[in-house]
C-alpha cells in the first residue's frame, strides 16, 4: 500500500523569505501523480501544484516549485518570497493512475511579518 509522510508538523518562515516543506512517499508503482494542497483556516482545500512521475522536470507555479526526486521518493515544496496569505496547512498527496488520493499528515506553515 502507498504511504505519504510529512515529517514536519509545523514550520515557520519570515515574510519574503523562502521555505521548503518536506514529503516522502512509498510506492511500488511507476505511474503516479503527486500534489500539494493548501488548507487555510477557511478549511477549503486548494490545489497548489502537481507533478507527474514520468516527468523529470520539476513543476513550477509562480512562487511555488517542487523538488521531485523519484529514486529517493521525495517530493518537497518550495515557497519563495513568502507572503502572509501563504499561512495554512499544507498537504502532500499521492495518486496512482487509477486509484485514490492518499494524503500526508500535513504541515502547518506560519508566516511571520
Partner 1 sequence: DAGVIQSPRHEVTEMGQEVTLRCKPISGHNSLFWYRQTMMRGLELLIYFNNNVPIDDSGMPEDRFSAKMPNASFSTLKIQPSEPRDSAVYFCASSLGKRGSYEQYFGPGTRLTVT
Residues that bind partner 1 (CB under 8 A): 32-33, 35, 37, 42-47, 50, 52, 91, 95-106
Q: Which residue number, 73 or 82, has a Cβ lying nearer to partner 1?
A: 73
Taking the complex as a whole, how short is the minimal distance between the CB of residue 91 and partner 1, in angstroms? 7
The HSE-up count of residue 105 (CA atoms within 13 Å, CB side) is 8
Number of residues written out for the chain: 113
- The b/e string for 31-63 (b: 16+ C-beta within 10 A; e otherwise) is ebbbbbbbeeeeeeeeebbebebeeeeebeeee
Taking the complex as a whole, how short is the minimal distance between the CB of residue 46 and partner 1, in angstroms? 8
Taking the complex as a whole, how short is the minimal distance between the CB of residue 7 and partner 1, in angstroms? 14
Distance CA 109, CA 89 (A): 6
Distance CA 22, CA 41 (A): 21
Q: Which residue number, 2 or 80, has a Cβ lying nearer to partner 1?
A: 2
Q: Which residue number, 16 or 101, has a Cβ lying nearer to partner 1?
A: 101
Taking the complex as a whole, how short is the minimal distance between the CB of residue 31 and partner 1, in angstroms? 8
Residue reference for cell 498527496: 93
Q: Which residue number, 35 or 68, has a Cβ lying nearer to partner 1?
A: 35
Amino acid at each position: 500500500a502507498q504511504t505519504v509522510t510529512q515529517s514536519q508538523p509545523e514550520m515557520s518562515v519570515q515574510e519574503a523569505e523562502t521555505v521548503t516543506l518536506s514529503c516522502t512517499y512509498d510506492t511500488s508503482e511507476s505511474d503516479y501523480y503527486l500534489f500539494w494542497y493548501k488548507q487555510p483556516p477557511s478549511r477549503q482545500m486548494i490545489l497548489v501544484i502537481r507533478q507527474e512521475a514520468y516527468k523529470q522536470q520539476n513543476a513550477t507555479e509562480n512562487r511555488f516549485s517542487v523538488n521531485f526526486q523519484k529514486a529517493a521518493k521525495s517530493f518537497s515544496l518550495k515557497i519563495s518570497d513568502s507572503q502572509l496569505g501563504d499561512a495554512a496547512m499544507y498537504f502532500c498527496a499521492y495518486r496512482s493512475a487509477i486509484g485514490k488520493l492518499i494524503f500526508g499528515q500535513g504541515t502547518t506553515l506560519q508566516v511571520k511579518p
